[in-house]
Chains A and B, each alone.
Chain A
Amino acid sequence: MPGNGKLRLAVWKFASCDGCQLSLLNCEQELLALLEHVEIAYFLEASRATSRGPYDLSLVEGSITTPHDAERIHAIRRDSKLLVTIGACATAGGIQALRNFRDVKAFTSIVYPNPDYIRSLRRSTPIRDHVEVDFELRGCPIDKGQLLEVVGALLAGRRPGIPTYSVCHECKRAANLCVMVAHGTPCLGPVTNAGCGAICPAFTRGCYGCFGPAEKTNTASLTNWLRDNGENRKTLVRSFRSFNADAEAFRKESEALEQAGKRHG
């Protein structure tokens, strides 16, 4: 930490929509308190003024999708004591990882008049595939309470209380009525990591899986149940292919469903 005793914070962006960084700015109430403990050394979304590393804590948003980014992340790692990735892009490749299931060249040739200018990697990958990551915060976007918890825990020198259990766990604690059981609405909650506070079931909608796979997942069993209850394979493939499409458990499930679809027509 620098002379002022504050934690030097940097916030970095890769392929992403900026929503997770905005969660930090959305901490309105807590932001002033945070600034008592934290010096914002690099955060372009908040200020043009930047200062050089090393940084005590780097928050990294976004996935790696270009050769340039694959280089840049190493420099950031070298400059950071702790590196925490934030959001579905940084931890699982994000929605842009849908390209991982297709040929990205085919896309660029359709979208751009001169695809030769496009330097894009074949796959969108999470930060931990490139450098060592100290902690991952899931979500699309992340939960600002969780972000403050991680920073607060770091400042207090304790372990962050970030759950690894399923959304169902939160749902039941909040006394939401289960939409799967009571309404027959498909829900990814049982295989999705907690963190959002089970917002969607609280509004009688199924979970979309924003926080990615939970610590234990049994996607095959969930799919079997939903299939037996009339859900079609294509819809299920799409449910697993959203913000966390390339997170291992979700990718395997959507691929297995696709394979089964091909076999059974």
Chain B
Amino acid sequence: MGAIVKKPRVLDAAALGELFEALKAAGHTLIGPVPRDGAIQYQPIDGVADLPAGWSDFQDKGRYRLNETGEASLFDYASAPQSWKRYLHPPRLKLFSARREKGRIRFDDEAEPIPKYAFIGVRACDLNAIAIQDRVFIGNGQIDPHYAARRERAFLVAVNCSRAGGTCFCTSMGTGPRAETGYDIALTELIDDRGHRFLLETGSDAGESIAAGLDAAAAAPEDIDAAAAISERVAGNMGRSLDTEGLPEILAKNLSHPHWDAVAERCLACSNCTMVCPSCFCTSVEDTTSLEDGTAERWRDWDSCFSGRFSYVVGGQVRDSTRSRYRQWLTHKLSYWHEQFGSSGCVGCGRCITWCPVGIDITEEAAAIRATDEA
């Protein structure tokens, strides 16, 4: 991805389908937002007709509701229940299979089919989360080939937020609401007396070459200003905030703080927060054996620091209490992720707050520790 600064274009909403067709023609499977079962979820889409036209969401701690707005907007919602993580870092993945043949172990070397995705509607927070997972899986000296192969093929169409969700706090984390980098194409949806259209910016050679084939004229200064105004308005409307000043150090020296016990009284250790978090990457590996032909398989599954087996070593669990598990989650995200990967592990997407079944809010818990920091 070269640092290309191309002039923004403007794409008529009616021509959005052309972008999708161009991506399909380039061999991409489209994954985009779809209203399903009562939420806007990222799943395979065929075209513009699948998008959540006239739908929006309400999010608060432990609560998500879909609303019909009747507006023309296609992207007027905040974070989806799950992030793009499940496509780049699948929840369950076969690592290999092997068989015993004539007394020897034979590994099947059948190559794993690697999907080639185009993500439609990546928010700024999630672009940052993908950048974090890039550092975890690719930039850390040890390359995860499964992630790397999916990532390399993926085309990212960012869509800048036109509404901040009730649990969003990207402004606090410096990750949004405007997509600054990491996308191939970034769109801002504009609906005003100049019509329903998208400001289209490119962020890579691949993005530029797709955009060049679209019927999209150079943007007028009014379009550029309108897009900037939207991002500015959204930035001022965050549902949550988190004071990150000195936070990693404050958390690190408060590992014995009584507040961890207070959280443990509410926390269910259910692992929803880690599963929906776009940067959490933990997995565990399990073997299966077939009774039929003796084939053994090794599988990798999403795991979580809230599960008992996660910290199980011979003799018992390292983190036996819910207190120690919650503390691990929060301090990993907001404190020692910095040391490990050079940034915060949190991008402020708000998912862990919305999807915690008992509404535990990471911003409140971190603030509570800060407020009573006595260490």
Interface check B140, CB cutoff 8 A: no
Interface check A182, CB cutoff 8 A: yes
User: Is the CB–CB distance between B308 and A215 below 8 Å?
Assistant: yes
Interface check B182, CB cutoff 8 A: no
The CA-CA distance from A175 to B302 in the complex, in Å, is 12
User: Is the CB–CB distance between B269 and A218 below 8 Å?
Assistant: yes
Interface residue from A30, A173, A220 paired with B291 (Cβ < 8 Å): A30
Least CB distance, A195 to chain B, in whole angstroms: 14
User: Is the CB–CB distance between B275 and A221 below 8 Å?
Assistant: no
Given A173-B92, A178-B81, A181-B355: A161 touches B287 (CB 8 Å cut-off): yes
User: Is the CB–CB distance between B39 and A225 below 8 Å?
Assistant: no
15 contacts between A and B (CB under 8 A): A152-B288, A152-B291, A153-B289, A155-B289, A165-B306, A165-B308, A168-B357, A172-B91, A175-B41, A175-B82, A178-B81, A181-B354, A183-B38, A190-B358, A216-B322
Residues of A close to B66: CB separation below 8 A: 182
Given A33-B292, A172-B82: A178 touches B357 (CB 8 Å cut-off): yes
Residues of A close to B64: CB separation below 8 A: 178, 181-182
User: Is the CB–CB distance between A173 and B289 below 8 Å?
Assistant: no
Interface check B307, CB cutoff 8 A: yes
User: Is the CB–CB distance between A221 and B271 below 8 Å?
Assistant: no
Given A166-B269, A181-B62, A216-B322: A173 touches B275 (CB 8 Å cut-off): yes
User: Is the CB–CB distance between A180 and B62 below 8 Å?
Assistant: yes
Stretch of B67-75, B152-160, B260-268 contacting A (4+ beta carbons < 8 Å): B260-268
Interface check B286, CB cutoff 8 A: yes
Q: Whose C-beta in chain A lies nearest to the C-beta of B317? A: A215
User: Is the CB–CB distance between A178 and B355 below 8 Å?
Assistant: yes
The CA-CA distance from A198 to B66 in the complex, in Å, is 23
Least CB distance, B221 to chain A, in whole angstroms: 42
Interface check A149, CB cutoff 8 A: yes
User: Is the CB–CB distance between A164 and B291 below 8 Å?
Assistant: no
Given A149-B288, A153-B289, A182-B64: A173 touches B268 (CB 8 Å cut-off): no
Kindly identify, within residues 297 to 349 of chain B, every residue whose CB is under 8 Å from any CB belonging to chain A. 301-302, 304, 306-309, 322, 325
User: Is the CB–CB distance between A37 and B92 below 8 Å?
Assistant: no
Least CB distance, A157 to chain B, in whole angstroms: 10
Interface check A93, CB cutoff 8 A: no
User: Is the CB–CB distance between A190 and B268 below 8 Å?
Assistant: yes
Residues of A close to B301: CB separation below 8 A: 173
The CA-CA distance from A39 to B354 in the complex, in Å, is 51
Least CB distance, A144 to chain B, in whole angstroms: 12
User: Is the CB–CB distance between B291 and A222 below 8 Å?
Assistant: no
Interface check B214, CB cutoff 8 A: no
User: Is the CB–CB distance between A30 and B355 below 8 Å?
Assistant: no
Kindly identify, within residues 140 to 179 of chain A, every residue whose CB is under 8 Å from any CB belonging to chain B. 148-149, 151-153, 155-156, 158, 161, 163-166, 168-169, 172-175, 177-178
- Contact-size category for B: 35 or more
Kindly identify, within residues 73 to 129 of chain A, every residue whose CB is under 8 Å from any CB belonging to chain B. none
Residues of B close to A163: CB separation below 8 A: 307, 309
Given A177-B41, A187-B357, A191-B268: A158 touches B275 (CB 8 Å cut-off): no
Least CB distance, A220 to chain B, in whole angstroms: 8
Residues of A close to B302: CB separation below 8 A: 172-173
Kindly identify, within residues 188 to 246 of chain A, every residue whose CB is under 8 Å from any CB belonging to chain B. 189-191, 204, 214-218, 220-222, 224-225
Kindly identify, within residues 50 to 76 of chain B, every residue whose CB is under 8 Å from any CB belonging to chain A. 62-66
Residues of B close to A216: CB separation below 8 A: 268-269, 306, 308, 322, 325
Residues of A close to B296: CB separation below 8 A: 156
Interface check A28, CB cutoff 8 A: no
Least CB distance, B282 to chain A, in whole angstroms: 12
Given A166-B268, A177-B39: A36 touches B291 (CB 8 Å cut-off): yes
The CA-CA distance from A155 to B288 in the complex, in Å, is 12
Interface check B276, CB cutoff 8 A: yes
Kindly identify, within residues 29 to 54 of chain A, every residue whose CB is under 8 Å from any CB belonging to chain B. 30, 33-34, 36-37
Interface check B290, CB cutoff 8 A: yes
Interface check B95, CB cutoff 8 A: no
Interface check B272, CB cutoff 8 A: yes
User: Is the CB–CB distance between A172 and B267 below 8 Å?
Assistant: no
Residues of B close to A221: CB separation below 8 A: 265-268, 358
Least CB distance, A196 to chain B, in whole angstroms: 15
Given contacts A178-B64, A190-B272, A204-B37, 8 further A-B pairs with CB under 8 A are: A37-B291, A161-B288, A165-B271, A169-B271, A172-B275, A177-B41, A204-B38, A216-B322
The CA-CA distance from A217 to B307 in the complex, in Å, is 11
The CA-CA distance from A101 to B287 in the complex, in Å, is 42
Residues of A close to B306: CB separation below 8 A: 165, 216
Residues of B close to A181: CB separation below 8 A: 62-64, 354-355, 357
Interface check B94, CB cutoff 8 A: no
User: Is the CB–CB distance between A172 and B271 below 8 Å?
Assistant: yes
Counting chain A CB atoms within 10 Å of each CB, the highest count among B265, B271, B276 belongs to B271
Residues of A close to B106: CB separation below 8 A: none
Given A173-B275, A177-B37, A225-B359: A164 touches B354 (CB 8 Å cut-off): no
Least CB distance, B31 to chain A, in whole angstroms: 12
Interface residue from B38, B267, B272, B275 paired with A218 (Cβ < 8 Å): B267
